[in-house]
Amino acid sequence: MKHLIFNLLAVAVLAAAPGKQTFTGIITDDVCATADHSQMRMGPTDAECAKACIDAHGASYILYDGKNAYTLSDQRTAEKFAGGK
């Protein structure tokens, strides 16, 4: 009986787990968190400015969705997509 209750509880917990989420936004840096690089002018393009902020200021790559900024766990891969959506 204990095994049945444990199995039912385990199934209930797994079923309640959140599903996969998808986020869409611009890969930028946390110095220019709203993806507006006009004030920094660290490069002629948004991608170059974001990369320069990472190198010169120790910034981190983030995803900016228009409202919120999310720090990305994989900073290496993010570099390839800097300035892009």
Q: How many domains does the chain have?
A: 1
pLDDT tens figures, 11-64: 555 566 567 888 899 999 998 877 777 776 778 888 998 999 999 989 999 999
Q: Do residues 79 and 28 touch, judged by C-beta distance below 8 A?
A: no
Residue 16 identity (one-letter amino acid): A
Cα separation of 10 and 14, whole Å? 6
pTM: 0.70
Q: Helix or strand or coil: residue 36?
A: coil
Q: What is the pLDDT of residue 42?
A: 79
Q: Is residue 5 part of a domain?
A: no
Domain of residue 72: give its range.
21-80
